[in-house]
A and B are shown apart, each in its own frame.
Chain A
Amino acid sequence: MTDDPGRRAEAEKRGGARRRTVSAFAQAGAGFLSEAWDRLGAGRTVAVIRGPETGLVMVRGRAGGGGAPFNLGEASVTRASVRLDGETVGHAMVLGRDGERARLAAAFDALWQVEAARGAVEREVVAAVEAAIASADRDRRAETEATKVDFFTMMRGED
């Protein structure tokens, strides 16, 4: 496990830009990915080299929120690995049991590694997914904020 903050930071740094893009692909809908692939990946061959395979991850929490880890419960996940045009290997793991979504996410991970395609994938997929998540979060925050209690104090006595 990488509970140690130093090792964690190092691992995250190693991930760099790809860490961000893989996370975006994992959180995109199957419909969106499929439509984007028709645009950006047309004519390329995607060979599945592993999966899509559904399994579990054990989700962990921490006692008290910040203490020792404990096993909260599992979540279903699906993973896939593909080879793009016989060269570039891409991987994905997504929450849920949608094999096609995992396959497409892995295909995009591979496509992003292709220098010529990277710009378009960043713009049209990664940025779009991040914008959609941010927009949904903004909506939820605004709806939640409207339920915030504004306390006011009643004057009592003479002062």
Chain B
Amino acid sequence: MYVAVKGGEAAIANAHRLLADRRRGDRSVPALTLSQIAGQLALAVDRVMAEGSLYDPELAAMAVRQSRGDLIEAIFLIRAYRTTLPRFAATRPIDTAAMVIERRISATYKDVPGGQVLGPTFDYTHRLIEPEMAEDAPVAAPARRDPPEDAGHAPRVTDILGDEALIEADGEGKGAEPADLTRTPLAFPASRDLRLQALARGDEGFLLGLGYSTQRGFGRTHPFVGEIRIGEVEVEVDLPEFGFPVVIGRVRVTECQMVSQFTGSKAVAPKFSRGYGLVFGQLERKAMAMSLVDRALRADAFDEERRAPAQDEEFVLAHCDNVQATGFVEHLKLPHYVDFQAELELLRKMRKAAGATDETVSGSKGDVEVVQ
């Protein structure tokens, strides 16, 4: 029997009204402003931009506010927003070597040209909650030091190793248009450009867990952080109305060059291999996790057997998107009354066939719920 279910409009409207009330909270407390969110919860905003796959700090701050700080909900809002807009162009690839550096560290070379620059990091803090966070205590201005003449010259560590041919090169930069999973559904096997796009917008927690798994032996890669750099890069677009490329602004990105153990053959001398992480915003953990997973997914390139989850392209790429994941997991809470009734009927038949008594079958509450 099919039972049509209607109703709920008033309940839904009132639920959303209640949501708006709870989101606003105590009216005697000032409402959050977008500049407060973008300025003081900047890393939450960065995560929403990276996984929402849309760089727009103000919009991401709106999404964080609307979602009450539920970042996956905020990411969902950003993804939905972007579908309403036309795409005008693709930019020229950003040049991370020309970044205005805000942080740059290498775990492989102490005396790397350009130096080890810590920037605004949580590293080396004690991870103890500071009592000052309970109040609006004055904050000192940052220390300053005159940069040397060649400031800004910080070659990518992988380029330094590359000069000695100790590390695999970046590969050729020419060829076809890069794959775009926003236009064409994922297909396997995936090219590296498609994988990098998927990972760049993938869920930080999922990729962190996978990256961690490679360190614990599920697809070992013996990684070192060749370099992490954070800072702003120029966005340059070729516009037909001009006929030449123009800079339209800057975006902040985090790049991680993970250097992994050797690969070689009789014909080719052993070299370090590499994994690459690049994300919008200041998201070091995400960039590191991405670079570990990128390296693990390159198993074929190094004749490695794919045995661990992090090496399984379909497993990783099909599940790293938290908007897709939340859609499918959370849809389970929507009404499944009819589906469930079918299962109940089936179960009754099975139990009857197995000789269970009528008494244990009938009178269950399940019948009642189905008819609402």
Question: CA A70 – CA B246 in complex, angstroms?
Answer: 20
A142 at the interface (CB under 8 A from B): yes
Q: In the complex where A72-B200, A95-B249 touch, is A62 in contact with B173 (Cβ < 8 A)?
A: yes
**Residues in B whose Cβ lies below 8 Å from that of A67:** 169-173
Q: In the complex where A66-B170, A71-B90 touch, is A15 in contact with B251 (Cβ < 8 A)?
A: no
Q: In the complex where A56-B88, A62-B93, A68-B193 touch, is A12 in contact with B245 (Cβ < 8 A)?
A: yes
Nearest opposing residue in chain B for A19, CB measure? B244
Whether B235 and A63, one on each chain, are in contact in the complex, defined by CB atoms closer than 8 angstroms, is: no
Pick from B151, B179, B238: contact of A2, CB under 8 Å: B238
B 220-262 contacts with A by CB, 8 A: 235, 237-239, 241-251, 253, 255, 257
B349 at the interface (CB under 8 A from A): no
A88 at the interface (CB under 8 A from B): no
**Residues in A whose Cβ lies below 8 Å from that of B180:** 58, 71
Q: In the complex where A70-B192, A151-B111 touch, is A61 in contact with B96 (Cβ < 8 A)?
A: yes
Q: In the complex where A14-B243, A62-B93, A143-B144 touch, is A97 in contact with B249 (Cβ < 8 A)?
A: no
Pick from B55, B116, B172, B274: contact of A74, CB under 8 Å: B55
Whether B241 and A91, one on each chain, are in contact in the complex, defined by CB atoms closer than 8 angstroms, is: yes
Q: What is the interface of chain A mostly: helix, strand, loop, or mixed?
A: mixed
Whether B117 and A151, one on each chain, are in contact in the complex, defined by CB atoms closer than 8 angstroms, is: no
**Residues in B whose Cβ lies below 8 Å from that of A79:** 88
Question: CA A73 – CA B252 in complex, angstroms?
Answer: 12
Binding stretch for chain A, among B3-11, B99-107, B131-139: B99-107
Question: CA A42 – CA B85 in complex, angstroms?
Answer: 34
A39 at the interface (CB under 8 A from B): no
Whether A63 and B170, one on each chain, are in contact in the complex, defined by CB atoms closer than 8 angstroms, is: yes
Q: In the complex where A23-B247, A57-B90 touch, is A74 in contact with B173 (Cβ < 8 A)?
A: no
Whether A62 and B249, one on each chain, are in contact in the complex, defined by CB atoms closer than 8 angstroms, is: no
B50 at the interface (CB under 8 A from A): yes
Pick from A72, A74, A146: contact of B82, CB under 8 Å: A74
User: Number of residues in A with C-beta < 8 Å to the partner?
Assistant: 62
Question: CA A4 – CA B173 in complex, angstroms?
Answer: 9
Nearest opposing residue in chain B for A2, CB measure? B238
Question: CA A143 – CA B5 in complex, angstroms?
Answer: 62
B188-221: CB near A (< 8 Å → 1, else 0) gives 0000111011001100000000000000000000
B39 at the interface (CB under 8 A from A): no
**Residues in B whose Cβ lies below 8 Å from that of A145:** 117, 144-148, 151
**Residues in A whose Cβ lies below 8 Å from that of B151:** 141, 145
A11 at the interface (CB under 8 A from B): yes
B54 at the interface (CB under 8 A from A): yes
Question: CA A23 – CA B248 in complex, angstroms?
Answer: 6
Whether B93 and A61, one on each chain, are in contact in the complex, defined by CB atoms closer than 8 angstroms, is: yes
Q: In the complex where A69-B93, A75-B235, A148-B117 touch, is A55 in contact with B144 (Cβ < 8 A)?
A: no
B152 at the interface (CB under 8 A from A): yes
A34 at the interface (CB under 8 A from B): no
A-B contact count (CB 8 A): 264
Q: From residue B307, how far is it (CB to closest CB) to chain A in Å?
A: 24
Question: CA A12 – CA B92 in complex, angstroms?
Answer: 12
Question: CA A8 – CA B245 in complex, angstroms?
Answer: 8
Whether B235 and A59, one on each chain, are in contact in the complex, defined by CB atoms closer than 8 angstroms, is: yes
Q: From residue A93, how far is it (CB to closest CB) to chain B in Å?
A: 5
**Residues in A whose Cβ lies below 8 Å from that of B171:** 63-64, 67-68
Whether A60 and B248, one on each chain, are in contact in the complex, defined by CB atoms closer than 8 angstroms, is: no
Whether B170 and A65, one on each chain, are in contact in the complex, defined by CB atoms closer than 8 angstroms, is: yes
Question: CA A149 – CA B106 in complex, angstroms?
Answer: 12
Pick from B118, B143, B247, B278: contact of A61, CB under 8 Å: B278
A84 at the interface (CB under 8 A from B): no
For the complex with contacts A15-B246, A63-B196, A140-B102, 19 further pairs of A-B residues with Cβ separation under 8 Å are A12-B244, A15-B243, A56-B54, A56-B82, A57-B237, A59-B251, A60-B92, A62-B170, A64-B257, A67-B169, A70-B200, A71-B178, A73-B201, A75-B55, A75-B56, A93-B237, A93-B248, A142-B144, A148-B115
Seen from chain A, the residues whose Cβ lies within 8 Å of a Cβ on chain B are 1-4, 8, 11-12, 14-16, 18-19, 22-23, 26-27, 53-77, 79, 81, 91, 93-97, 137, 139-149, 151
Seen from chain B, the residues whose Cβ lies within 8 Å of a Cβ on chain A are 49-50, 53-56, 58-59, 82, 85-94, 96-97, 100-103, 110-111, 115-120, 142-148, 151-152, 156, 158-159, 169-175, 177-182, 192-194, 196-197, 200-201, 235, 237-239, 241-251, 253, 255, 257, 274, 276, 278-280
Question: Can you name 30 A-B residue pairings with CB atoms under 8 Å?
Answer: A1-B90, A3-B93, A4-B174, A8-B245, A11-B245, A15-B244, A19-B244, A22-B242, A27-B250, A55-B85, A55-B88, A57-B90, A58-B91, A58-B180, A59-B280, A63-B192, A63-B196, A64-B276, A65-B255, A68-B178, A68-B192, A71-B197, A73-B197, A75-B251, A97-B56, A143-B143, A145-B147, A147-B119, A149-B116, A149-B117
